[in-house]
């Protein structure tokens, strides 16, 4: 008989004769993006109804996370993400209980970092990449792995479709631009998360392919067209401004400096030939004017005579002089 087969046969006989409940098998933790699920397999060669109890312990005593369940898995995602834990599970059937099966688990160290999300946009001969962190379930405000791993970076691999020559690029930002690409060429790429301080790499995303456009340069006729259109627009703006200024100038002139219209009857009078020029020239004097010198003498007060009589005489003399002047003319 094969020696490797003997322990298995002895276990079967012991279970059958003594009724001992064997412990669960293949206990393991499956943790992806801090979604922590403990898995196990039912015991062999036991035909009764079996339930399971799973517990965890961090610093103090063990606490039940799943009790008397018939499933072969238990969700430990609600435990704190920090610290080390001891997890254990056992099988139970009526009054029988199996031994505990223990494993250790550290969420931030043991969880698998899932692939980030990626969006690709082709523009002007380049590929614009936008990344998103893996989400964490059962966390408020849509927390991501970036909230627990502060040294998070992205590793990007890209290559021409149909070739195996891959190029790599690293970035700490949520976006990246791939330049110096061949125009009108299909490129494929994938991205993974990388924790620098822990030297841990996450899973690669599924390849995403996109085709580049031209290299971003424009033909010369586009520059000529833009130049001509710009000149036309500038010319129209200058003409529009000039017309507006001229319009406002005329309005202001009419309001503050109204035009003067020469009377019509004066225009007609000046248009006559007999008065056209002679009216404007000075009239020469044919006769000379004569003047008489008149002197008024008052008597002094010492003579004692009345001064009224000489004044009257002087007035008469003045009148006669004026009359004689008129006769001479």
Integer Cα distance of 275 and 179 in angstroms: 94
158 and 188 in contact (C-beta within 8 Å)? yes
Integer Cα distance of 192 and 124 in angstroms: 26
**DSSP letter, residue 93:** E
- The pLDDT of residue 86: 96
- Top-confidence residue, 176 or 248: 176
pLDDT digits (tens, 9 = 90+) for 73-115: 999 999 999 989 999 999 999 888 999 999 999 999 999 999 9
294 and 318 in contact (C-beta within 8 Å)? yes
Integer Cα distance of 26 and 171 in angstroms: 39
CA nearest neighbour of 43 among 86, 3, 66, 11:
11
Integer Cα distance of 292 and 151 in angstroms: 127
Quickly state the pLDDT bin for 251 (edges 50, 70, 90).
Answer: confident
Average pLDDT of the segment spanning 33-52: 89
- Top-confidence residue, 108 or 137: 108
| Structural domains of the chain in order of their starting residue, each with its CATH number | 3-110 (2.60.40.10), 117-211 (2.60.40.10)
- The pLDDT of residue 109: 94
Query: Where would I find the beta strands (DSSP E) of the chain?
Result: 25-32, 35-41, 51-57, 63-69, 73-75, 85-93, 96-97, 101-105, 117-123, 126-132, 152-160, 167-171, 175-178, 186-195, 200-201, 208-211
Which range, of 61-70, 226-235, 269-278, averages the lowest pLDDT? 269-278
- The pLDDT of residue 49: 86
pLDDT at 324 over 60: no
The whole-model pTM stands at 0.59
Count the neighbouring beta carbons within 10 Å of the beta carbon of residue 33: 21
**With pLDDT > 90 as the criterion, what percentage of the chain qualifies?**
49
Which range, of 46-50, 103-107, 222-226, 307-311, averages the lowest pLDDT? 307-311
Query: What is the CA angle 29-197-193, rounded to 5?
Result: 65
- The pLDDT of residue 228: 92
């Amino acid at each position: 008989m094969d020696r490797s087969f003997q322990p298995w046969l002895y276990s079967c006989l012991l279970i059958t004769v003594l009724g001992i409940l064997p412990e669960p098998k293949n206990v393991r933790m499956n943790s992806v993006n801090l979604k922590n699920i403990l898995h196990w397999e039912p015991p062999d060669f036991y035909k009764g109804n079996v339930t399971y109890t799973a517990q965890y312990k961090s610093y103090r005593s063990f606490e039940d996370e799943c009790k008397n369940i018939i499933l072969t898995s238990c969700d430990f995602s609600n435990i704190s993400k920090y610290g080390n834990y001891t997890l254990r599970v056992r099988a139970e059937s009526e009054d029988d209980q199996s031994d505990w099966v223990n494993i250790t688990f550290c969420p931030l160290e043991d969880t698998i970092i899932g692939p980030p999300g990626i969006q690709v946009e082709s523009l002007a001969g380049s590929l614009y990449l936008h990344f998103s962190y893996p989400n964490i379930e059962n966390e408020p405000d849509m927390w991501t792995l970036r909230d627990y791993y502060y040294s998070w970076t992205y590793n990007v691999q890209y290559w021409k479709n149909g070739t195996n020559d891959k190029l790599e690029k690293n970035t700490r930002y949520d976006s990246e631009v791939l330049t110096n690409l061949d125009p009108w060429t299909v490129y494929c790429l994938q991205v993974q998360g990388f924790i620098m301080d822990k030297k841990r790499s996450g899973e690669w995303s599924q390849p995403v392919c996109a085709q580049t456009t031209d290299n971003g340069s424009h033909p010369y006729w586009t520059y000529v067209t833009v130049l001509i259109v710009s000149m036309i627009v500038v010319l129209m703006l200058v003409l529009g401004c000039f017309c507006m200024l001229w319009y406002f100038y005329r309005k202001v002139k009419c309001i503050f400096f109204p035009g003067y219209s020469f009377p019509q009857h004066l225009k007609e009078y000046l248009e006559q030939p007999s008065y056209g020029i002679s009216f404007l020239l000075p009239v020469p004097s044919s006769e000379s004017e004569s003047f008489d010198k008149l002197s008024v003498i008052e008597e002094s007060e010492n003579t004692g005579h009345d001064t009224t009589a000489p004044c009257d005489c002087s007035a008469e003399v003045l009148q006669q002089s004026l009359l004689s002047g008129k006769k001479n003319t």
